[in-house]
């Protein structure tokens, strides 16, 4: 079977001669401009000499594989993934390797805590506890916040967005008014109310609340994607073959919409981590007895005046590191899914 | 029998469309995209629906398949009977069984008719599973067989490929394979070759014709290309302004066209005989869909119009000279008595050069 590297299979003039010969033999050839359609003999020649599309020697690549390839080449994305990977590793294994015991107090030499030294690379807090252990143990809760919030927000946001975008009509209007309502509510207000009502501080409850506050933006995005994708011709073609609406919405259109949705979901993770820190910093977040980067930031405020900058600095850097990593990944994902990006 | 053009349903008719109208309610008014279409398609035969852009041919096909969004679209009257069953009366679930299972449709744009995130094997299998309820493995086998049937080389490999790896002609073959995979009774092809180049066009048309013979399938071919029609179909229905203006066997339409619009269309085809001369055109343009002319839709552009044309809508009926073609034109039927015909019954013709009122 000829392939692309073989060069043309016949010189062009030989081909023309053959076609002309067949035409003449069949007595149908009238001159240039004669429609090829009206000569079945010519068609036989064409069928015989038509090069079936060259045998494809490459592996078939799905959209996902293509996106992965683009992602891998994107330097920021790779860096970001490494950063996030480090943080996730620390979140999972950190507390095992460096367990945190709030009662493990060591003597400190400075008021306010010991600065970074060989024994404590991140220094200690005002009671002599290692800040390194604090950061490493706080990672778990902070990262969990990011992930759980993202899962909840994505689940609800997708459901609402798909329904509104695909079905349109009154369903769309109703759901979008709900989205408008949710976006109008100030989140801090809700947090405060929840803290007061539920005897605040339960991390899981807070994650749920964060999730329920983050879904509207994703829903709008999904709806917008669906409004355009449902007009694509392959939707009509699938419908013409008998595919049901529900299958069309979830099986056919959704994979095509996932690119921007994934990017948005990663940003929800980053957002949730910052939100947790912010809210814990104000003492409306999780209980002081749980360790997170946010509670560390909050507790360390009092010691700043005594010169203890490391207790606030390192947890803050951890947050920044994680969020920057996620943002880099998000950039990479956006470019990876963009069909117009150069390979 | 002269008179009404409503087709009687004979036992060999697969599809009978009767007085079908599809209107679109939009902000600026009502668009009468299909305004009283009648035709019948016998089992195993083929009909070509010809017309300009905007004549309503695609909307007719979409109405038969009930693929239109019903809020803007509505079907005020008409029936579409497939083997006696009125498709317009079916529930959506029942209609889904018809789509693909009994009537298959192939669209114009092969480049975008396939979902880019699935392999073509998956998409064909999905159609098969939907209608034939077989296992995924068996559906895959059938998909490979369907691809082989449409002339794709190495179907076992093609089945795992994505649409972006195939050329336009191959994608159209894949679409046809998807349509034929459930062995439907009828295929609707909406300008299947318009987006393809000429050599591929010939192959696809051959493929459609061969499949039709293999499966004993009826074919409804929609096109604006008269050359394709001449080759492919048994009957022709010429549409203009949402109505069928002439219908009959293909040889008759081409050798003795009656309706002035058909004459205009055939005249405007470039032929070798008039090489180097200016192409003839039909003066004027398609009427504004919100403001269709009173009387015959074609009258403003017709070189042979006379008084009744501007007042009364001609119906599609067999022409008075007894031929088998049906025409919707006052030249071939007795206009109503109150039209401006002279006392002796002689038809006077307007000067077509006169400015439009």
Determine the distance in angstroms separating the CA of A270 from the nearest CA of chain B, rounded to an integer.
29
- Rounded distance, CA B299 to CA B81, Å? 32
- pLDDT, one tens digit per residue, over B50-108 is 988 888 899 999 999 999 988 889 999 999 999 888 999 999 999 999 998 899 999 98
Q: Which of residues 246-265 of A touch B (CB under 8 A)?
A: 252, 255-256
- pLDDT, one tens digit per residue, over A146-189 is 999 999 999 999 999 999 999 988 999 999 999 999 888 887 78
Q: Sign (positive/negative) of CA torsion B92, B97, B99, B103?
A: negative
Residue B271 contacts A where some CB pair is shorter than 8 Å: no
Residue A32 contacts B where some CB pair is shorter than 8 Å: no
**CB of B212 within 8 A of CB of B232?**
no
pLDDT bin (cut points 50, 70, 90) of residue A13 is low
**What is the Cα B226 distance to its own chain's centre?**
12
Contact A63 B97 (CB under 8 A): no
Phi, psi angles (nearest 5°) of residue A326:
-65, -40
pLDDT at B65: 93
Q: Across chain B, what does the average pLDDT equal?
A: 84
- Give the range with max mean pLDDT: A199-208, B214-223, B302-311, B340-349: B214-223
Give me the sheet containing B186-190, strands edge to edge. B103-106, B186-190, B218-223, B46-50, B235-240, B243-249, B326-327, B317-318
Asked if the model's pLDDT at residue B348 lies above 50, the reply is no
Report chain A residues whose CB lies below 8 A from the CB of B227: 35, 37-38
Report chain B residues whose CB lies below 8 A from the CB of A35: 227
* Domain coordinates in residue numbering, chain A: 4-49, 65-337
Residues A140-165 as b or e (16 or more Cβ within 10 Å = b): bbbbbbbbbbbebbbebbbebbbbbb
Residue A243 contacts B where some CB pair is shorter than 8 Å: yes
pLDDT at B200: 87
Q: If we measure between CA atoms, which residue out of A100, A144, A283 comes closest to residue A200? A: A283
Tell me the average pLDDT across A319-326: 93
Residue B176 contacts A where some CB pair is shorter than 8 Å: no
Q: What is the pTM of this model?
A: 0.75
Residue A31 contacts B where some CB pair is shorter than 8 Å: yes
Q: Which of residues 44-73 of A touch B (CB under 8 A)?
A: 46-47, 50, 52-53, 55-56, 60-63
Tokens of A132: 């390194």
A206 CB-near residues (< 8 Å, 6+ apart): A145, A191, A194, A276, A279, A285, A286
Nearest CB to A233; choose among B97, B107, B228: B107
**Closest alpha carbon within chain B to A339:** B116
Determine the distance in angstroms separating the CA of B92 from the nearest CA of chain A, rounded to an integer.
9
Contact B126 A43 (CB under 8 A): no
Q: Which residues pair with B49 in a beta bridge?
A: B222, B237
Instruction: Say which CATH class A65-337 falls into.
Output: mainly alpha
Determine the distance in angstroms separating the CA of A337 from the nearest CA of chain B, rounded to an integer.
12
Nearest CB to B272; choose among A30, A36, A60: A30
Q: If we measure between CA atoms, which residue out of B303, B226, B304 comes closest to residue B268? A: B226
């Amino acid at each position: 079977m000829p392939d692309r590297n073989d060069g043309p299979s016949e010189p062009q003039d030989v081909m023309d001669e053959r076609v002309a010969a067949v035409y003449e033999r069949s007595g149908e050839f009238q001159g240039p401009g004669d429609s090829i359609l009206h000569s079945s003999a010519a068609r036989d020649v064409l069928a015989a000499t038509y090069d079936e599309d060259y045998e494809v020697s490459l592996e078939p690549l799905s959209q996902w594989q293509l996106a992965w390839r683009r992602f891998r080449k994107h330097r920021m994305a790779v860096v970001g993934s490494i950063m996030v990977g480090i943080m996730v590793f620390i979140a999972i294994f950190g507390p095992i390797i460096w367990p945190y015991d709030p009662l493990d107090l060591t003597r400190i030499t400075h008021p306010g805590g010991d600065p970074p030294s060989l024994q404590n690379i991140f220094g200690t807090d005002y009671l002599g506890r290692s800040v390194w252990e604090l950061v490493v143990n706080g990672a778990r809760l902070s990262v969990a916040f990011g992930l759980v919030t993202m899962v909840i927000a994505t689940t609800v946001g997708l459901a609402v967005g798909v329904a509104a975008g695909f079905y349109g009509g009154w369903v769309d209007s109703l759901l979008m008014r709900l989205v408008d309502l949710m976006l109008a509510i100030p989140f801090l207000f809700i947090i405060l109310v929840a803290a007061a009502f539920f005897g605040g501080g339960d991390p899981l409850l807070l994650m749920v609340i964060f999730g329920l506050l983050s879904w509207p933006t994703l829903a709008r995005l999904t709806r917008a994607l669906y409004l355009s994708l449902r007009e694509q011709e392959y939707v009509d073609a699938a419908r013409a073959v008998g595919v049901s609406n529900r299958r069309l919405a979830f099986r056919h259109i959704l994979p095509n919409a996932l690119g921007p949705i994934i990017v948005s979901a990663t940003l929800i993770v980053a957002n949730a981590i910052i939100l947790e820190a912010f809210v814990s910093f104000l003492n409306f977040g999780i209980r002081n007895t749980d360790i997170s980067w946010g509670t560390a930031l909050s507790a360390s405020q009092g010691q700043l005046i005594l010169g203890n900058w490391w207790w606030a600095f390192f947890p803050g850097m951890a947050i920044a590191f994680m969020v920057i990593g996620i943002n880099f990944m998000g950039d990479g994902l956006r470019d990876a899914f963009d069909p117009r990006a150069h390979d | 029998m002269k008179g009404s053009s409503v087709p009687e349903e004979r036992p060999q008719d697969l599809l009978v469309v009767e007085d079908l109208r599809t209107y679109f309610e939009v902000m600026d008014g009502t668009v009468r995209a299909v305004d009283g279409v009648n035709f019948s398609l016998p089992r195993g035969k083929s009909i070509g629906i010809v017309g300009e852009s905007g004549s309503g041919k695609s909307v007719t096909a979409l109405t038969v398949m009930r693929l239109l969004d019903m809020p803007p679209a509505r079907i005020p009257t008409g029936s579409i009977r497939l083997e006696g069953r009125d498709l317009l009366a079916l529930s959506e679930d029942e209609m889904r069984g018809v789509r693909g299972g009994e009537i298959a449709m192939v669209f114009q744009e092969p480049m975008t008719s396939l979902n880019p995130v699935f392999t073509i094997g998956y998409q064909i299998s999905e159609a098969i599973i939907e209608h034939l309820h077989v296992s995924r493995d068996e559906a895959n086998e059938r998909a490979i067989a369907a691809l082989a049937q449409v002339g794709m080389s190495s179907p076992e490999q093609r089945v795992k490929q994505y649409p972006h790896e195939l050329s336009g002609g191959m994608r159209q073959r894949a679409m046809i394979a998807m349509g034929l995979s459930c062995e439907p009774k009828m295929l609707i092809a909406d300008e299947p070759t318009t987006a393809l180049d000429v050599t591929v066009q010939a192959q696809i048309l051959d493929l459609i014709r061969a499949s039709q013979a293999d499966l004993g399938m009826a074919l409804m071919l929609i096109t604006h290309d008269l050359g394709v029609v001449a080759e492919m179909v048994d009957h022709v229905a010429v549409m203009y302004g949402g109505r069928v203006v002439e219908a009959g066997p293909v040889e008759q339409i081409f050798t003795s066209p009656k309706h002035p619009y058909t004459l205009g269309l055939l005249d405007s085809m470039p032929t070798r005989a008039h090489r180097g001369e200016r192409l003839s055109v039909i003066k004027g343009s398609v009427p504004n869909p919100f403001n269709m002319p009173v009387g015959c839709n074609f009258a403003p552009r017709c070189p042979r119009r006379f008084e009744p044309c501007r007042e009364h809508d001609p119906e599609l009926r067999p022409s008075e000279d007894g031929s088998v073609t049906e025409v919707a034109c006052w030249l071939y039927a007795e206009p109503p008595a109150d039209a401006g015909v002279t006392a002796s019954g002689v038809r006077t013709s307007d000067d077509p050069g006169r400015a439009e009122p």
